[in-house]
Amino acid sequence: MSGVPGVRVAAEAAILSCGLVLAFLAYRAYRNTESAALGLVTVGFCLVSLGAVAGVALPFVTPVELALGLTVQNVLTAVGLAALVYSLCVSKTGVDTGSGPA
31-70 residue pLDDT tens: 999 888 999 999 999 999 998 888 778 877 888 888 888 8
What predicted TM-score, i.e. pTM, was given to this entire model? 0.77
97 in any annotated domain: no
Give the structural domain span for 24: 4-92
- Residue 27 located in a structural domain: yes
d(C-alpha 9, C-alpha 28), whole Å: 28
pLDDT of 19 strictly over 80: yes
For residue 100, tell me if it sits in a domain: no
Would 57 be classed as within a structural domain? Answer: yes
Tell me whether residue 55 is in a domain.
Answer: yes
Half-sphere exposure of 60 (CA within 13 A, CB side): 7
With contact defined as beta carbons under 8 Å apart, do 91 and 38 qualify?
A: no
Burial of 32 (0-12, 13-18, 19+ CB in 10 A): exposed
Q: How many domains does the chain have?
A: 1
Residue 101 placed within a domain: no
Contacts of 77 (CB under 8 A, 6+ apart): 47, 48, 51, 52
Q: Is 45 exposed, middle or buried (0-12, 13-18, 19+ CB in 10 A)?
A: buried
